[in-house]
């Protein structure tokens, strides 16, 4: 099966399956490998889910005209850009020397309960000590893998708009 001959629906269904697989691995890492997600990991998961939803809706709708396809690709891209920003911040925190790593802060659940939304976002993106912990998978930290997948999925979404067979 040659991906260059896939329809828009098939390409977007494949994008959804990749997002589902990424979330499956995130849950596997959490519950089997016992890697507890930090607040930035949770925001990356939200970005993957956001992209997955619009890949799925695009696959189910499978519009024939270009304009709705661009809308779906833009929404997937928006989620991907959020994910890239979050993963980039996470990688930056992991690159800090040990003496510059912020102290461990409260969990995301507490931040949601105790602070207004914008204050919670600011505190979560400031990062905390658990965000700087590096757990390499195949030699690359988890945010490095998610950053790579965000870029690939954004490109995949826009390529599907351009090259889909009718």
pTM of the model: 0.83
On whether the CB atoms of residues 49 and 27 are closer than 8 A, the answer is: no
For the chain, list the domains and their CATH numbers. Answer: 3-163 (1.20.1550.10)
Bigger pLDDT: 128 vs 140: 140
Answer yes or no: is pLDDT of 126 > 80. Answer: no
Average pLDDT, the chain: 85
Question: What are 47-75's pLDDT values in tens digits?
Answer: 999 999 999 999 999 888 889 999 999 99
Nearest CA-CA partner of 135 in 41, 4, 19, 11: 41
Burial 44-83 (b: 16+ CB within 10 A, else e): bbebbebbbebbbebbeebeeeeeebbebbebbbebbebb
């Amino acid at each position: 099966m040659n991906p260059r001959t896939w329809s828009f629906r098939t390409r977007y269904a494949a994008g959804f399956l990749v997002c589902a697989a990424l979330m499956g691995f995130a849950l596997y890492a959490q519950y089997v490998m016992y890697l507890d997600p930090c607040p930035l990991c949770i925001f990356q998961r939200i970005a993957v889910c956001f992209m997955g939803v619009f890949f799925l809706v695009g696959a189910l709708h499978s519009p024939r005209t270009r304009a709705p396809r661009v809308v779906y690709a833009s929404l997937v891209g928006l989620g991907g850009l959020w994910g890239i920003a979050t993963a980039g911040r996470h990688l930056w925190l992991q690159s800090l020397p040990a003496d510059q790593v912020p102290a461990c802060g409260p969990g995301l659940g507490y931040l949601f309960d105790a602070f207004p939304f914008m204050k919670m976002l600011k505190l979560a993106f400031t990062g905390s000590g658990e965000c700087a912990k590096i757990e390499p998978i195949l030699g690359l930290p988890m945010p490095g893998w998610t950053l790579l997948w965000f870029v690939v999925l954004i490109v995949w979404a826009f390529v599907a708009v351009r090259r889909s067979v009718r």
